[in-house]
């Protein structure tokens, strides 16, 4: 049985049923529905051959070539799908809900599966995700100098009943030349959008949601432009933590990092620091003087922070005297309520 479903129905069912992505592996790697597992009808090479045949010879020869490639693998597809979904009920999609998912849906249905086929395919999912970035979310932006502990505060805000989304966690990057240290590989920008859009879908749109302040790019991934512009217009609370505490916090974190990794991070900002400061920072790393290295790096990042604040339209300063994330989360909420920001 083949049951065509909308993207809303598809995502609702995806909470319980396996999702099969019939696109080629490279397409899946570029971006995919979060719950989906790769179940390609063609390899990357086979997809390229069918595409070339379509361009050079037309529709019918391309279809015949696709069937030639699909036929010998049908038995294995059914066996694999049965392992994934012993109850024989799956969700399925390809790029646009066309021939690939249609062929796979026919095969699995013939083998006794109930197949929920996504209308419009992955393309419909992408449109749905991007729609989330145009909505008027009640965002509050948490800002502050590098080393203020903004990321550490987010989980405590959540414990206190606030909605939060950790952009750096989604991007697998801390947003600076040092941002990749200790982090997994970054997703593609497309997959980052999928992660962000999916996180937004889980929120109550009537309740405030806290985001850490970020630039339009986080490492190699880029924020959706419209969403980033909207964040610039939302209330921003700047936590002002004494520099001494910020230096101590960062030095403690980086003292466990391999020196060659730190050296590479300093070299990345050499043009901003200048030759002399860069050499002083490298010497500090060599001698294990992490506080000196951090102080030098912050001379650049603190200037960059002032530049990042300029486009914002609603800025509220909150001086804090501790780096303790739980205490600071409590003060943030009290401050936000007093100023009618949440």
| Burial class of residue 159, CB neighbours in 10 A (0-12, 13-18, 19+) | exposed
Beta-strand runs (E) in the chain: 2-5, 19-21, 36-38, 89-93, 114-118, 139-144, 163-165, 209-212, 217-218, 221-222, 235-240, 314-319
Catalytic site residue from 94, 99, 104, 117: 94
Secondary structure class of 68 (helix, strand, coil) = helix
CB distance 104 to 91 below 8 Å = no
In angstroms, the CA 327 to CA 49 distance is 60
Q: Give the number of other Cβ atoms within 10 Å of residue 158's Cβ.
A: 15
Chain Cα centroid distance, residue 10 = 21
Chain Cα centroid distance, residue 199 = 9
Q: Is 94 a catalytic residue?
A: yes
In angstroms, the CA 21 to CA 97 distance is 11
| Interior/surface letters 243-265, b for 16+ CB within 10 angstroms, e for the rest | eebbbbbbbebbeeeeeeebbeb
Residue 94 structure tokens: 């390809």
Query: Rounded to 5 degrees, what are φ and ψ at 204?
Result: -85, 115
In angstroms, the CA 196 to CA 279 distance is 39
- DSSP label of 175: S
Q: Which of these, 104, 40, 52, lies nearest to 78 by C-alpha position?
A: 104
Secondary structure class of 17 (helix, strand, coil) = coil
CB distance 195 to 201 below 8 Å = no
Task: Give the catalytic positions in this structure.
Answer: 94
């Amino acid at each position: 049985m083949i049951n065509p479903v909308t993207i809303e129905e598809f995502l609702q069912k995806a909470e319980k049923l396996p999702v099969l992505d019939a696109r080629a592996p490279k397409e899946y790697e570029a971006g995919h529905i979060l719950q989906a597992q790769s179940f390609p009808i063609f390899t990357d090479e086979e997809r390229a051959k069918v595409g070339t045949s379509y361009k050079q010879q037309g529709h019918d020869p391309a279809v015949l070539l696709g069937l030639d490639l699909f036929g010998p693998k049908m038995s294995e597809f059914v066996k694999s799908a049965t392992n994934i979904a012993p109850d024989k009920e799956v969700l399925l999609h390809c790029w646009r809900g066309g021939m690939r998912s249609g062929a796979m849906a026919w095969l699995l249905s013939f083998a006794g599966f109930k197949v929920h086929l996504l209308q419009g395919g992955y393309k419909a999912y992408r449109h749905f995700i991007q729609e989330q970035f145009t909505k008027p979310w009640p965002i509050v932006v948490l800002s502050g100098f590098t080393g203020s502990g903004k990321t550490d505060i987010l989980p405590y805000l959540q414990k206190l009943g606030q909605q939060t989304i950790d952009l750096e966690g989604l991007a697998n990057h801390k947003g600076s030349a040092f941002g990749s240290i200790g982090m997994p590989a970054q997703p593609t920008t497309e997959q980052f959008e999928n992660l962000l859009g999916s996180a937004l879908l889980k929120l109550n749109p009537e309740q405030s949601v806290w985001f850490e302040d970020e630039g339009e790019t986080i490492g190699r991934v880029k924020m959706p432009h419209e969403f980033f512009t909207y964040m610039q217009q939302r209330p921003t609370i700047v936590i002002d933590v004494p520099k001494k505490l910020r230096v101590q916090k960062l030095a403690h974190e980086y003292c466990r990092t391999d020196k060659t990794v730190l050296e590479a991070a300093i070299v990345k900002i050499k043009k901003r620091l200048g030759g002399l400061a860069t050499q002083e920072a490298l010497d500090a790393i060599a001698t294990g003087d992490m506080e000196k290295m951090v102080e030098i790096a912050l001379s650049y990042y603190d200037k960059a922070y002032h530049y990042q604040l300029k486009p914002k339209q609603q800025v509220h300063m909150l001086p804090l005297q501790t780096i303790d994330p739980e205490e600071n989360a409590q003060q943030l909420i009290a401050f936000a309520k007093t100023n009618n920001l949440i």
